[in-house]
A and B are shown apart, each in its own frame.
Chain A
Amino acid sequence: MEALRKKAHEIITGGQVKVIIGYGEGSPERARAIFAQTPAEVDQLIFDQRCLQNLAVYLMKPEVKALGKMAITASKNVLRSILQLASENQLTDADLVVIGITDDGGVIEFPNLQAVEEHIKAAGTPAKNEDRARIEEIDKKPLEERWQYWQEQLSACVKCYACRSACPMCYCTRCTVECNQPQWIPAPSHHLGNLEWHIMRAMHLTGRCIECGECGRACPLGLPINLLTQKLAAEIESQFDWQAGMSLKVENPLSTFKPDDKENFIK
């Protein structure tokens, strides 16, 4: 924490950035995002195991951008999000300073996004998180049971769009569900509307989801919808040996064409 605050002080007092997006104390036992703009606010920065929110979402928020040049305290998930966003031309070196944080609260300095990419690549394939195990468990169920499971889960969805709002990669100014000429996805949170919404959300994140699980944490009804996007991430990994948020280049298998792409799915 000391190292983090020291670095943060340096760039705020040095005038390098106007705001540092980081974590601070929140409601009892919770941590929350804070936006440190003064040395006093920098002293409130923390990092511990409660700091799970994927802060990269704020890099896309107009009200935060309006504060001026940003710095962000970035755990591994945030770093991968940054790379993914940069690969989609949403971020450049001019927009931000990245302060990497290791799991034990140490600081990694990154002179630029290139350095972030090198760091992430060097760290190698991300460890499989426990969500992958849950996905495998669901996959083991017979088709009918799986269908039943998702029907039940998704029927509780109220379309608050917290899953969308919490995801750094959901930055479209007008989401497909809001396009009404024609109305591609039914807006109401009835059976069909929910099903289509979640299929659409998962499809739009395929090859872009960095598996931070933020959508699932954000859902006020505790629906495990992160398993949908993460299942597709697993699918992309097994089919194309590829993971999102590992590089600055646009290489998402679903957005790029390669002459040697597998065609075995065309039947």
Chain B
Amino acid sequence: MSAENLYKPYVMKIEKITQEAPEVKTFKLVFTDEEEGKNFNFKAGQFGEYSILGEGESTFCIASSPTRKGYIECTFRRAGRVTSALARLEEGDTMGFRGPYGNTFPIDDWKGKSLLFIAGGIALPPMRCVIWNALDLRENFKDVTIIYGARTVNDLVYKHELEDWGKRPDVKLITTVDPGGETPDWKGEIGFVPTVLEKAAPSSANTIAIVCGPPIMIKFTFPVLTKLGFTPENIFTTLENRMKCGIGKCGRCNVGKYFVCKDGPVFTFAQVKELPPEY
């Protein structure tokens, strides 16, 4: 945290830009102030406010793993004013970042358990952080299963990493695209994530499920997980409410007694069930 001003961003340099999918880019960011970079720490699940001075700030999770030091990555889809401006930046340009904010996935508590990751669309980035975190500490966990779906083959992000994960013997990867979104040489599944999940029917024994995706996917995934025997306490998700400050001041992300930015964005399904449906 920069001590001088709570809202003062770190100045970051864009080291690498990867075009992941149409309108989706990954930035690899390094601290321009080495000292700041050395002191910077975060945990899986946290997010930050990325900005272009003069255009505004935008909320993305930190998509790289805390086990990889010296840089952070974010993956974002071009949506509004800020993301459009970000999308125009080039390698070598500078931008703002403040964070890390929010709570984290309790990955230390998951030692000795199996992990089931379920992600849809642009929601793989928040998940990627915890996936890499888990894979870098692979010996701590039993089975690792990843189910990832997007609308079309073109919309799948992190294609290279998906390939790598698919090749790993210690990861079970299932990719799927919505019906009609496949290409002639598509080898993955065709169908919506909840359906594919039901078909794959992973065991819930000693397993943690982590679900990230658009609200509609989450809504239909919870019942399937419940049917598979997952208890609400063992299902984790992240909520996405519009944010400004990221630190529990501006009131924007308030849902029930929680500020999603400070008390979240990671919640268990048990907590989500108690929340007013305002997310």
- Chain A residue nearest in CB terms to B82: A180
Residues of B within 8 A of A180 (CB): 80-81
How distant is A174 from chain B, measured CB to nearest CB, in Å?
A: 13
B84 interfacial contact with A, CB 8 Å: yes
A255 interfacial contact with B, CB 8 Å: no
A256 interfacial contact with B, CB 8 Å: no
- Chain A residue nearest in CB terms to B84: A181
DSSP majority for the A interface? strand
Please report the C-alpha to C-alpha distance between residue A180 and residue B55 in the assembled complex, in whole angstroms. 10
User: Which positions 101-130 of chain A face chain B at CB distance < 8 Å?
Assistant: none
How distant is A52 from chain B, measured CB to nearest CB, in Å?
A: 33
Please report the C-alpha to C-alpha distance between residue A180 and residue B54 in the assembled complex, in whole angstroms. 12
- Chain B residue nearest in CB terms to A183: B81
- Chain B residue nearest in CB terms to A179: B81
User: Which positions 46-84 of chain B face chain A at CB distance < 8 Å?
Assistant: 80-81, 84
How distant is B230 from chain A, measured CB to nearest CB, in Å?
A: 38
Interface bits A178-217 vs B (CB < 8 Å: 1, else 0): 0011010000000000000000000000000000000000
Residues of A within 8 A of B80 (CB): 180-181
Residues of A within 8 A of B84 (CB): 181
User: Which positions 16-66 of chain A face chain B at CB distance < 8 Å?
Assistant: none
Please report the C-alpha to C-alpha distance between residue A180 and residue B80 in the assembled complex, in whole angstroms. 8
Please report the C-alpha to C-alpha distance between residue A180 and residue B81 in the assembled complex, in whole angstroms. 7
Please report the C-alpha to C-alpha distance between residue A183 and residue B81 in the assembled complex, in whole angstroms. 9
Please report the C-alpha to C-alpha distance between residue A181 and residue B84 in the assembled complex, in whole angstroms. 9
Please report the C-alpha to C-alpha distance between residue A180 and residue B58 in the assembled complex, in whole angstroms. 14
- Chain B residue nearest in CB terms to A182: B81
How distant is A112 from chain B, measured CB to nearest CB, in Å?
A: 42
How distant is B252 from chain A, measured CB to nearest CB, in Å?
A: 14
How distant is A186 from chain B, measured CB to nearest CB, in Å?
A: 12
User: Which positions 154-180 of chain A face chain B at CB distance < 8 Å?
Assistant: 180
Please report the C-alpha to C-alpha distance between residue A162 and residue B80 in the assembled complex, in whole angstroms. 26
- Chain B residue nearest in CB terms to A180: B81
How distant is B169 from chain A, measured CB to nearest CB, in Å?
A: 48
Please report the C-alpha to C-alpha distance between residue A183 and residue B56 in the assembled complex, in whole angstroms. 11
Please report the C-alpha to C-alpha distance between residue A181 and residue B81 in the assembled complex, in whole angstroms. 6
How distant is A185 from chain B, measured CB to nearest CB, in Å?
A: 14
- Chain A residue nearest in CB terms to B85: A181
Residues of B within 8 A of A181 (CB): 80-81, 84
User: Which positions 16-34 of chain B face chain A at CB distance < 8 Å?
Assistant: none
Please report the C-alpha to C-alpha distance between residue A183 and residue B54 in the assembled complex, in whole angstroms. 11
Please report the C-alpha to C-alpha distance between residue A92 and residue B81 in the assembled complex, in whole angstroms. 37
How distant is B118 from chain A, measured CB to nearest CB, in Å?
A: 34
How distant is A254 from chain B, measured CB to nearest CB, in Å?
A: 29
How distant is A193 from chain B, measured CB to nearest CB, in Å?
A: 15
Please report the C-alpha to C-alpha distance between residue A181 and residue B79 in the assembled complex, in whole angstroms. 11
Interface bits B83-123 vs A (CB < 8 Å: 1, else 0): 01000000000000000000000000000000000000000
How distant is B65 from chain A, measured CB to nearest CB, in Å?
A: 34
Residues of A within 8 A of B81 (CB): 180-181, 183
How distant is A179 from chain B, measured CB to nearest CB, in Å?
A: 10
Please report the C-alpha to C-alpha distance between residue A183 and residue B80 in the assembled complex, in whole angstroms. 12
How distant is B174 from chain A, measured CB to nearest CB, in Å?
A: 38
How distant is B182 from chain A, measured CB to nearest CB, in Å?
A: 34
Residues of B within 8 A of A183 (CB): 81
- Chain B residue nearest in CB terms to A181: B81
How distant is B55 from chain A, measured CB to nearest CB, in Å?
A: 9
Please report the C-alpha to C-alpha distance between residue A207 and residue B80 in the assembled complex, in whole angstroms. 33
Please report the C-alpha to C-alpha distance between residue A181 and residue B80 in the assembled complex, in whole angstroms. 8
Please report the C-alpha to C-alpha distance between residue A218 and residue B84 in the assembled complex, in whole angstroms. 37
How distant is A184 from chain B, measured CB to nearest CB, in Å?
A: 12
Please report the C-alpha to C-alpha distance between residue A183 and residue B55 in the assembled complex, in whole angstroms. 9
How distant is B263 from chain A, measured CB to nearest CB, in Å?
A: 28
How distant is B178 from chain A, measured CB to nearest CB, in Å?
A: 29
Please report the C-alpha to C-alpha distance between residue A180 and residue B84 in the assembled complex, in whole angstroms. 11
How distant is B236 from chain A, measured CB to nearest CB, in Å?
A: 34
How distant is A81 from chain B, measured CB to nearest CB, in Å?
A: 33
Please report the C-alpha to C-alpha distance between residue A113 and residue B41 in the assembled complex, in whole angstroms. 67
Please report the C-alpha to C-alpha distance between residue A226 and residue B181 in the assembled complex, in whole angstroms. 54
What are 6 A-B interface contacts by the 8 Å CB criterion? A180-B80, A180-B81, A181-B80, A181-B81, A181-B84, A183-B81
Q: Which 6 A-B pairs have the closest CB atoms?
A: A180-B81, A181-B81, A181-B84, A181-B80, A180-B80, A183-B81
